[in-house]
Amino acid sequence: MVGIPHCIASRRARLASDWRRPGLAGVLIRATVCVVLLVAAGPAVAVEPPGRTAGAASAEAARSPKTIGDLKALEQRIRKTAAAVSPSVVALAGASGVVVSADGYVLTVAHVGQRAGRPISVVFPDGRRATAITLGNDSGADAGMAKISDPGPWPHAEMAGCGDLKPGEWCLMLGYPITFEAGRPPVLRVGRVLRTEKMSVITDGPIMGGDSGAPLFNLDGKVVAIGTMCDRSLVHNIHVPLGRFAAVWDRLVRGEDFDSLAPKPLLGAAAAAGVADARLGSIDPGGPAEKAGLKPGDVLLKFGGKEVHKFAEVSPLVQRRKPGEKVEVEVRRGTETVKLQVTLGQDNSGDNP
């Protein structure tokens, strides 16, 4: 069970009383005020990694309402979007998540997923329960993934392109703060994007206990980020941008637990061109491979006891190690088989394995 962050303990009682207050469906929107709406129903899209090309935020989404008419139009759009995306927002492991494909891939955060292969229960707003398994978790970015194992199709939300979010843009966050009750729709907070960074999106839509893993939507109803934490300020709430998921998407799907911010190991060798095997083409001068005695033309046969058939298999094997770790490699050099020990270096470029 994910505990409530210390920064929102004082908000818990207030939200509980607000939930019971009649007439809360009338939305008053300001840049630093969030509103709780009761919402339900809706559609969705697919499970490819979020697009890696930036898109332009619509002027309508970013602008401030200047008249009562603008405010009413914004409120109606928020209601319509919330109703459409609500069915895809799920409660899981004492926190929240969002289904992003019909076959049940779920985005959440790593501190909720904890580790790959863990069975969890996923609860939809209408009370339906499904069995899921946690997949990969990137503890550095706090990006996590799970997969519903029961047969679908499942209600799901579409993911926006990784650059489709701009400061000042209106956004919606839906999640399950405090507790989940069957038949209770996810609680909606409305706010603005304060700033976007490589590792985070900062909004003024409050995050509370249970909101870890809650999706952040734009006004088009597309997922743009996943809630991770807040600080002591009501208007400083942190979300993991989709770009962080896209950067490690394949590793999450494969069920790897890792830290993308940890120092990367380096072998210091590149593939030879135009060959199907794991032949080395170039060796970094003074790098780990050269120091170990590897030479251009060597064909890697084993790395750390694992057989290698093509050079594309080398990088994943290297990335599972740590800088400074000693690894035995086996190569074919001419007609001979040679065993060497490589002390992996630290990769600061991300270019070579």
Look up the domain containing 140 and give its range: 6-258
Tell me the two tokens of residue 133.
């398994």
Q: Over pLDDT 90: what percentage of the chain?
A: 55
Q: What is the pLDDT of residue 234?
A: 64
Nearest to 49 by CA among 258, 228, 245, 220: 245
User: Where residue 171 sits, what CATH number does that domain have?
Assistant: 2.40.10.120
Is residue 260 very low, low, confident or very high in pLDDT (cuts 50, 70, 90)?
confident
Give the residue with greater pLDDT, 164 vs 225.
225
Mean pLDDT lowest among 17-31, 160-174, 235-249, 255-269: 17-31
Q: What is the pLDDT of residues 334-343, one digit of tens each?
A: 999 999 999 9
Whether 352 is covered by a domain: the verdict is: no
Domain identity same for 214 and 343: no
Question: Same domain for 89 and 226?
Answer: yes
- Is the pLDDT at 42 greater than 60? The verdict is no
In a domain, 246, yes or no: yes
Inside any domain, residue 353: no
* Boundary of a domain, candidates 217, 234, 258: 258
282 and 205, same structural domain? no
299 and 191, same structural domain? Answer: no
Domain-located, residue 1: no
85 part of a folded domain:
yes
The structure tokens 């492991």 sit at 93
Contact in structure between 329 and 342 (CB atoms under 8 Å): yes
* Residue-wise pLDDT tens digits, 54-91: 444 444 544 678 889 888 999 999 999 999 999 999 99
Interval 279-330: pLDDT, tens? 999 999 999 999 999 999 999 999 999 999 999 999 889 988 989 999 999 9
Q: What are phi and psi of 62, to 5 degrees?
A: -90, -20
Q: Are 303 and 338 in contact (CB under 8 A)?
A: no
What integer is the mean pLDDT of 184-211? 85
Whether residues 231 and 194 share a domain: the answer is yes
Which pLDDT score is estimated for 27? 35
Query: What was the pLDDT predicted at 240?
Result: 93
Q: Which residue is listed with tokens 């962080």?
A: 244
Q: Are residues 238 and 275 in the same domain?
A: no
pLDDT at 347: 82
Residue 18 banded pLDDT, cuts 50, 70, 90: very low
Tell whether the model's pLDDT for residue 267 goes beyond 90.
yes
Q: Looking at the structure, do residues 17 and 166 belong to the same domain, yes or no?
A: yes
Choice between 294 and 205, residue whose per-residue pLDDT is larger: 294
Q: Give the CATH number of the domain where residue 323 resides.
A: 2.30.42.10
On whether residue 165 sits in a domain, the answer given is yes
Q: Note whether residue 15 is domain-resident.
A: yes
107/225 Cα distance (integer angstroms) = 10
If asked whether residues 25 and 113 sit together in one domain, one would say yes
Same domain, 214 and 295: no
Nearest to 78 by CA among 32, 29, 44: 29
Q: Is residue 49 part of a domain?
A: yes
d(C-alpha 271, C-alpha 314), whole Å: 10
Instruction: For residue 205, name the pLDDT band (cuts at 50, 70, 90).
Output: confident
Q: Looking at the structure, do residues 325 and 253 belong to the same domain, yes or no?
A: no
The last residue of a domain, from among 203, 231, 258:
258
Instruction: Kindly report whether the global pTM for this prediction surpasses the value 0.75.
Output: no
Is pLDDT of 11 > 50?
no
Residues 41, 150 within the same domain: yes
Domain boundary among the residues 218, 242, 258 is at 258
| C-alpha atoms less than 13 angstroms from C-alpha of 280 in its C-beta half-sphere | 26
Q: What is the mean pLDDT of residues 104-131?
A: 93
What gap in Å lies between CA 174 and CA 136, rounded to an integer? 23
CA distance 84 to 81: 5
d(CA 72, CA 166): 23
Name the domain count of the chain: 2
Helix (H) or strand (E) holding 111: helix 110-113
The C-alpha angle 247, 309, 338, rounded to 5 degrees, equals 115
Q: Are residues 78 and 206 in the same domain?
A: yes
Label residue 183 exposed, middle or buried (CB < 10 Å: 0-12, 13-18, 19+): exposed
